[in-house]
Amino acid sequence: MRLDKYLADMHVGSRSEVKILVRKGQVRVNGEVAKDPGMFVTAQDRIEAAGETIGYQEHFYYMLNKPAGILTATEDKKQQTVLDLFPENLRKNLSPVGRLDKDTVGLLLITDDGALAHRLLAPKSHVDKVYLAGTDLPVTEEDVKRFAEGLTLSDGTELMSAGLKILTGDVKADPFGTFIAEAPGPDDHLSLVTIREGKFHQIKRMFEACGKKVVYLKRLSMGSLMLDPDLPEGEWRELTEQEIFSLQGERSAL
């Protein structure tokens, strides 16, 4: 492909920005200063821009700590979407994997790897999603039993077995302690919910079936991918190679 397209696709800058870099002599191909932004390169060439090696990456993977008040969509005429939190030159072909409600916060995987997204979301792949939920009333052992047995929602939808862990005195001992400390409301109204499906408003409707209202919802993990406790709400970072590798391993669960 053309050198300027390669550099733009690898997120070095927009097509016009990378052309300027080439003209300034800041791009090298196999050690030689490139003169023509339109020169032909392949993934086998060693390409450097401003002294940094720009390896070929087929796909891009980001973890977003979604804030409340933002739509999980790629674009919307009126409302801010999760992709609006990314600079324009990174947005090409990116989509969120699954959906969080507008008022739900926490982990959202964003990628241009459609095949991986499809596998992670396929109901038969059984990828666990863990949420921290705050409810208006304390969660009971009866609720735990009903979640485990598989709830039937008000519209008759029958759900798979789900995990429900009441968070009380031992909150600090939980591996997700960092997140729990920041959740609002009394501790005894907090619980960890693990679901394998991703039905519309699923957790809210599950609690509703138990006579409770969800007042706070944060996704903590999706399969092996855990929300980085150092990532502030509204910010994103690239996944590490290890995180990508582990997520790709989720495929074998199919």
The site map against ligand URA for 56-95 (x = CB under 6 A) is: ----------------------------------------
Indicate whether 116 belongs to the interface with ligand URA (CB under 6 A).
Answer: no
Q: How far is the CB of 203 from ligand URA (least distance, A)?
A: 3
Query: How many CA within 13 A on the CB side of residue 143?
Result: 23
Which of 65, 104, 135, 221 touches ligand URA (CB under 6 A)? 104
What is the rounded distance in angstroms from the CA atom of residue 2 to the CA atom of residue 6? Answer: 6
SS3 string, the chain, reads CEHHHHHHHCCCCCHHHHHHHHHCCCEEECCEECCCCCCECCCCCCEEECCEECCCCCCCEEEEEECCCCECCCCCCCCCEHHHHCCHHHCCCCEECCCCCCCCEEEEEEECCHHHHHHHHCHHHCCCEEEEEEECCCCCHHHHHHHHHCCECCCCCECCCCEEEEECCCHHHCCCHHHHHHCCCCHHHEEEEEECCCCCCHHHHHHHHCCCCEEEEEEEEECCEECCCCCCCCCEEECCHHHHHHHHHHHHHC
According to CB under 6 A, which one of 29, 41, 100, 227 is a site residue for ligand URA? 100
Distance CA 83, CA 75 (A): 7
Which one of the spans 5-13, 99-107, 138-146, 159-167 is the region binding ligand URA (CB under 6 A)? 99-107
Return the number of the residue (28 or 219) whose C-beta is nearest ligand URA. 219
Q: What angle do CA 120, 162, 126 make, to 5 degrees?
A: 20
Residue count, binding to ligand URA (CB under 6 A) = 8
Closest distance of CB 124 from ligand URA, Å? 19
Q: Residue 28 or 66: which CB sits closer to ligand URA? A: 66
Note whether 111 binds ligand URA by CB under 6 A.
no
164-223: which residues touch ligand URA (CB under 6 A)? 201-204, 217
CB closer to ligand URA out of 10 and 209: 209
CB of 101 to ligand URA, least distance (A): 4
Cβ proximity to ligand URA, 111 vs 202, nearer residue: 202
Closest approach of ligand URA to the CB of residue 247, in Å? 19
Q: Which is nearer to ligand URA, 3 or 97 (CB)?
A: 97
Minimum distance of ligand URA from residue 218's CB (angstroms): 9
Residues marked active site are found at 101
Chain residues binding ligand URA by CB under 6 A are 100-101, 104, 201-204, 217
